Amino acid sequence: MGKASTDQYSAGEQGLGYIYQPRFALLRLLQLPESTSVLIEKDDDLDFLDKDGVKTLASLKHKGVGDRLTDLSTDFWKSVRIWLARYNRDGRSEASLRFFLFSTGTVSDTSFLQRFLAEPPTDDATGSLSQVAADVLAKSESKLIGEIATEFHKLNDDEKEDFLSRIVIFDGGPRIDDVPSIIKDQHMRSIRRDSRDAIFERLEGWWNDTIVNLLVGKRTDAIFGYEISDKLSAFAEEYKSDNLPITFRGMVPAGEIDADNDPRLFVVQLREIGIASNRIRNAILDYYRAFEQRSSWARQNLLVSGEMEEYEDRLVDEWSRYRDVVFEELDEDSADSVLLEAGKALYRWADLVSGDSSALRIRERVTEPYVVRGGFHILANSRPLPRVYWHPRFLDRVGQLLGAAE
């Protein structure tokens, strides 16, 4: 457990509070029926809407370790001020509203706020809730509390009781760094344990992007619980034994792509057979995505021992078979133009056809073409001798090409 900060000017907990909102929203939506939807920073920190049209306004308080809620805690009364405004706006007792306060702190044993807990104490309480609340408000000389009291007393007695009956406090809630383990332990039990960390990372990445789109207006519709279920299921499918996650689709390397001057051997080979710059650029992208994807799989320990080596052997075998067909009619007297066309034909197969071949997939359900195309470029770039090549006379000119790639 972390230590409470003693710096009165520290903004750490406030900063954590902003980050806490989307992470807590993800957890809470997983705990609720899939038909529930959520908005962030609309009527409150979070707005949950169920299938019956009941809206729950949720205030979140990520507090310092050991923090407690007392009768006049501003965390509670600031939320009450927000809730009163929404209650008045929506027709008071006619409103389909509930008000939840989620706090990592705990309610003091001596505070009347105990009566708002999801599981209040069984002791017989004296006095109506509205009268006790009024008595507490009357004790404060704070301008903020006074303004809230004024708004509260605009309600009649029945409305006061109705308003307060809608409030629930959930104290002692999970801290921000506890949420991932709760999600993985309680909501990802059908997923293999060794894949849960990676899948949670991808789920939260998607979730945070969705929240940002909601906040900046790129998305206007609330986020439904079933969207999380669908996304979690889709990610989990990628980590099954016949599949691998594809996470570099559309990614580009940092810096400029210089197809005309890139010195790597797989690029030099393409220039040697007269491939246009725009196609070489695509090859560089395929190489980058395949290389980074392999590295990601290795970091996550998703590959079986020797699997990548066996896969590359399969690529080389298929390449050599197609090479023998394309080069079959060539001989020592073949003109340079004929050799060049043969090299282009061989590369055309690798570039345009190989990505669609089920026989060339590293696993049955890995259908992303850059895995195959980029795999050939990785082999064309290997040292000391590239394992695949395109020009029929490559082996005769290997020293020259290697020199050009230095």
Sign of the C-alpha dihedral computed for residues 188, 189, 190 and 194 taken in this order: positive
Q: Is residue 253 part of a domain?
A: no
List, in sequence order, every beta strand (DSSP E) within 174-254. 223-224
pLDDT tens by residue, 337-393: 999 999 999 999 999 999 889 999 999 999 999 999 999 999 999 988 899 999 999
Would you state the structure tokens that stand for residue 284, as one six-digit string? 């560089």
Residue 149 shares a structural domain with residue 274: no
pLDDT of 8: 45
Give the side-chain half-sphere CA count within 13 A for 135: 10
Would you state the structure tokens that stand for residue 363, as one six-digit string? 């696993």
Q: How far apart are CA 79 and CA 56, in angstroms?
A: 13
Residue 183 shares a structural domain with residue 51: yes
Q: Is residue 256 part of a domain?
A: no
Domain carrying residue 136: 12-233
User: 406 versus 202: which is more confidently predicted?
Assistant: 202
Residue 144 shares a structural domain with residue 273: no
Beta bridge partners of 106: 68
Over 50: is that where the pLDDT of 158 sits?
yes
CA 375 to chain centre: 27
Q: How far apart are CA 289 and CA 261, in angstroms?
A: 20
Residue 342 shares a structural domain with residue 390: yes
Question: What is the mean pLDDT of the segment spanning 89-114?
Answer: 96
Which helix (H) or strand (E) segment is 145 a member of?
helix 143-152
Which of 190, 216, 233 is the C-terminal boundary of a domain? 233
Q: What whole-number percentage of the chain has pLDDT above 70?
A: 94
Question: What is the mean pLDDT of the segment spanning 124-132?
Answer: 82
Which of 233, 255, 281 is the C-terminal boundary of a domain? 233
Weakest-pLDDT range from 111-120, 124-133, 316-325, 337-346: 124-133
Residue 229 shares a structural domain with residue 374: no
Q: How far apart are CA 163 and CA 324, in angstroms?
A: 82
State which amino acid sits at residue 206.
Answer: W
Q: Is residue 245 part of a domain?
A: no
Residue 117 shares a structural domain with residue 209: yes
Residues 6+ apart with CB under 8 A from 91: none
Q: Is residue 46 part of a domain?
A: yes
| Structural domain total, the chain | 2
Q: Is residue 269 part of a domain?
A: yes
Residue 97 shares a structural domain with residue 178: yes
pLDDT of 396: 79
Cβ–Cβ < 8 Å for 178, 2: no
Residue 280 shares a structural domain with residue 374: yes
Q: Is residue 348 part of a domain?
A: yes
Residue 71 shares a structural domain with residue 183: yes
Q: How many of the other CB atoms lie within 10 Å of CB of 341?
A: 15
pLDDT tens by residue, 297-340: 999 999 999 999 999 999 999 999 999 999 999 999 999 999 99
Which of 211, 233, 255 is the C-terminal boundary of a domain? 233
Would you state the structure tokens that stand for residue 80, as one six-digit string? 């009450």
Residue 201 shares a structural domain with residue 315: no
pLDDT of 3: 45
Question: What is the mean pLDDT of the segment spanning 81-110?
Answer: 96
Residue 212 shares a structural domain with residue 329: no
Residue 168 shares a structural domain with residue 273: no
Cβ–Cβ < 8 Å for 61, 2: no
